[in-house]
Chains A and B, each alone.
Chain A
Amino acid sequence: MKILIVEDEARVGRFIERALGEQAYTTRLVTTCAAARDALADSPYDAIVLDLGLPDGDGFDLLREWRASGFNEPVLVLSARDAVNDRILGLNLGADDYLPKPFSIEELVARLRSLLRRQSTAPRATTLEHRGVRLDLLARVATVEGRAVDLTAREFALLELFLQNPRRVLNRTLIAEKIWDASYDLETNLIEVYVRRLRQKLDQPGAEPFIRTVRGAGYQLA
């Protein structure tokens, strides 16, 4: 898997390079639009991590060019700019995902991996299971150790998100985006409240909480 990183802030770029390298991806880091065009003309890439603010142009222009010329691999847009407008514009122009700065490197790796997996058209599971919690996506039924648990629609969606990303730390922005379809921050402690409700319904007495809080990062299945 070869990944092109277009990021003008060299130190951020090297961080991404190193992190993706640890995951055994081959990477190439470029810092300008011109270099990005050359790189893509030289050799094919399986995915692109694209920063928007580049010294010699706008990342959106590159994205538009690539999509117009038939480049179909996933593009993950990174931006420090106004999240809402850029997210909408980026997704309209054919970006596959959008990550606002500052971001967690684990989050970037996780999102990229999920983009590449989506690309490989593996059949999606219809039941998800983790530590005795079982979610039937077709029947919309949740069970803990075989015992049915009553979940609201939001709780079900949130649990599904966690079970589909078993090892990944999910941050507030991502949860708000996936469950509430929100492009603005939800402002309240709504996510915290729903995680608490899920814990009350799923946790076994005396056992470790089903969902654990990763301070400063988000939530993760335990």
Chain B
Amino acid sequence: MKSFTLRLTLQFAGLVTATTAIVLTVGGFLLDREVERSLELLHEVEARELFELVGNDSSLTAAAIADRIRHDADSDAALFVIQVAKTGGEVVFRSNNLGETILPVDGSAPRHWTTTIPYFGRVHVSASRHGPWLLQIGSPLEPSERLIEDYIRISIFLLIGSALLSLVLGYGFSRATLRPLRAIEETAERIGADHLTERIPTPAGRDELASLTNLLNRMLDRLHGSFEQVRRFTADASHELKTPLALIQLNAEKLRAKARHDPDCAATVTDILEEISRLQQMIDRLLFLAHADSGALTTAFRHLETQALLATLADDAIALAEDRHARFAIGRNEPGTLRGEFDLLRQLLLNVVGNAVNAAPPGSGITLESHAEGPRWVLSVLDEGPGMTPAQLERAFDRFVRFAPPAGAAPGPRGHGLGLAICKGIVELHGGTIRLENRRDRSGLRVRIELPRVES
């Protein structure tokens, strides 16, 4: 179960259970109060009855009063305790079931309270004034307490039941609620630069989800629009830049053919042709970067075996190194699989090796290592050159950045300052990272490339 479904289920169950608990608690209080009120009503009826028996004469002796109400009090002994007092406070009658207890007599009436007496336990008492008498009638609370206890027991069962039921219902409910979200998730997963035309199916109705879906779809429209714009722009830019360049080149070639007998002129034209070819390469690289930046580069990714990839590179890397009297070797080389475009990865690795070769003092070694590290394939190119200063490390991936060759090294081939920027573009296109760091074991630079690994 995904965490959001789980959370929603728990929230739903919690809410239902809490509501049930509140309803049952409030019900319990109401029940408790209702039981007391019905007792008080009974007390009132009994008080009237007693008053009729006792009459309005305040001069009656205690014996006379007892005579008049004893029979009634005894017959209801299981239900009521009775105490009669004069308004002054003198108690004139107490039913037998009160035992030793004398209910406190104060002037304020009517009032109700609960007290404990030995014979009945907890008793709810009502005091009322009738004529010259203060009539105090109490009833045992035990039967109603039993009722409340039953109520609480049943409530707990109901609560547990509702909690379990709401968990089950809540799971179904949250799955149903999240179904449109899952549809959005699945579609969004499929949509990359290549499938930008796809849209999330809009759910029926005009609810919040429908408006969210519409919002996302409008965002995709805009995204699609800007991708298209980048694609068109790069296509237009290359057309607009390259057509005049083609004309300049054609004219320069014509000039060179005509100036065959004028060495000065021919040399100048040759310079122009060389610059044209550099310009052409630079345009190609910038367009490549523009494409990679915008994610608009169409790639043909395949599964590649890392050992085979390195093996096919080795010959070229050795040739590059030998040309500058350096040695190239493949160090640790673990088997692994990754997804990528061979052409681009070769360009990446040759570029990095080429840089290492240019920094390498004659006779030094360049090592290429590759190993798996968790879900990533780590590839390192180590050289034995002077490494880089912190300032250089920071700017190395910027465009048009060129560093002076290390002191004493022969100048390398003239570059455009785009090599590492392109490397970064290629690595990011493959969902990886590239980092430069100075070696800790000795002087030299280590280029560390991490690419997502494929479980084979």
* Residue positions of A touching B, CB distance < 8 A: 9, 11-12, 15, 53, 80-83, 85, 100-106, 152-154, 171-172, 180, 182-190, 192-194, 196-197, 215-217
Q: Does B11 contact A (CB under 8 A)?
A: no
Q: How far is the CB of A91 from chain B (nearest CB, A)?
A: 13
Contact flags B236-250 to A (C-beta < 8 A → 1, else 0):
001101110111111
Q: Does B347 contact A (CB under 8 A)?
A: yes
- Are A182 and B320 CB-contacts (below 8 A) given A9-B247, A154-B315, A188-B351? no
Of all chain B residues, which has the CB nearest A102? B246
- Are A103 and B239 CB-contacts (below 8 A) given A184-B343, A184-B347? no
- Are A189 and B354 CB-contacts (below 8 A) given A184-B288, A184-B344, A216-B277? yes
Partner of B238, one of A80, A189, A190, A215: A80
| In the complex, chain B residues whose CB is within 8 Å of the CB of A85 | 298
Of all chain A residues, which has the CB nearest B419? A187
| In the complex, chain B residues whose CB is within 8 Å of the CB of A189 | 320, 354, 412-413
Partner of A81, one of B238, B248, B254, B322: B238
Partner of B276, one of A192, A193, A197, A216: A216
Partner of A12, one of B246, B273, B413, B422: B246
Partner of B350, one of A100, A153, A187, A194: A187
Number of residues of chain B lying within 8 A (CB) of chain A? 49
Can you list 9 residue pairs at the A/B interface with Cβ under 8 Å? A15-B254, A85-B298, A102-B245, A103-B246, A154-B319, A187-B422, A189-B320, A215-B273, A216-B277
4 further interface pairs, Cβ-Cβ under 8 Å (given A105-B250, A186-B347): A12-B250, A171-B277, A190-B320, A197-B323
Partner of A15, one of B250, B272, B280, B350: B250
A196 and B347 contact, CB distance less than 8 A: no
Q: Does B153 contact A (CB under 8 A)?
A: no
* Residue positions of B touching A, CB distance < 8 A: 234-235, 238-239, 241-243, 245-250, 253-254, 270-277, 280-281, 284-285, 287-288, 291, 298, 315-316, 319-320, 322-323, 343-344, 346-347, 350-351, 353-354, 412-413, 419, 422
B285 and A101 contact, CB distance less than 8 A: no
| In the complex, chain B residues whose CB is within 8 Å of the CB of A185 | 281, 284-285, 347
- Are A82 and B343 CB-contacts (below 8 A) given A152-B315, A154-B315, A193-B320? no
Of all chain B residues, which has the CB nearest A171? B277
| In the complex, chain A residues whose CB is within 8 Å of the CB of B245 | 101-102
| In the complex, chain A residues whose CB is within 8 Å of the CB of B280 | 102
Of all chain A residues, which has the CB nearest B235? A81
Partner of A215, one of B249, B254, B274, B353: B274
- Are A197 and B319 CB-contacts (below 8 A) given A82-B291, A101-B243, A215-B274? yes
| In the complex, chain A residues whose CB is within 8 Å of the CB of B287 | 82
Of all chain A residues, which has the CB nearest B318? A152
Q: How far is the CB of B233 from chain A (nearest CB, A)?
A: 11
Per the bound structure, the CA–CA distance linking A192 and B288 in Å amounts to 23
- Are A215 and B270 CB-contacts (below 8 A) given A185-B285, A190-B350, A193-B319? yes
Partner of B243, one of A12, A184, A215: A12
Partner of A216, one of B246, B274, B354: B274
A81 and B346 contact, CB distance less than 8 A: no
Per the bound structure, the CA–CA distance linking A185 and B248 in Å amounts to 22
| In the complex, chain B residues whose CB is within 8 Å of the CB of A53 | 239
Q: How far is the CB of A159 from chain B (nearest CB, A)?
A: 14
